[in-house]
Amino acid sequence: MSSLELRKLFFGLCFLAFLALPRIFHSGNLSYGITATLVNGVPLLLILIHCYTKTDFDHSAYLPAIMCITVLTTFGSFSKDELIEFGFRFLLTEPMWAYFFLKASFFFWSLLLLPVVLGKFFNKD
């Protein structure tokens, strides 16, 4: 499998994962470790695959970046009580630093992927 096919497959899976991510959090009782892995792992893999293939972001990378920004910014805007109601039940037992780390992760990845989306949006191709 070539790196281009791998890249397109991964971006398609990222797109589907970010569509399903709110449902996963709402339906399950995930631990803090699994949640942190999902929140930090998927955007990191998106960026690593992009760096590995060394091509400009195209349409297959643009949609997962939009979904990532949308989902993570939405989660970042929720209060602690809203996150608990939504499915982040581990926040009931974890210390306050876990809540702040989670919110910082949401906004960090949103801001990191924002130039990708804006660059593609303003590019005339």
Residue 4 has pLDDT above 70, yes or no: no
Instruction: Check residue 104 and give its pLDDT.
Output: 92
46 near 68, Cβ under 8 Å? yes
The pLDDT confidence band at residue 5, using thresholds 50, 70 and 90, is low
pLDDT in tens, 68-90: 788 788 888 999 998 888 878 88
Task: Answer yes or no: pTM beyond 0.75.
Answer: no
d(CA 47, CA 41): 10
Instruction: Check residue 100 and give its pLDDT.
Output: 92
Using only C-alpha atoms, what is the Rg of the chain? 15
Q: Where do the H-state alpha helices sit in the chain?
A: 3-27, 32-53, 59-77, 80-86, 96-122
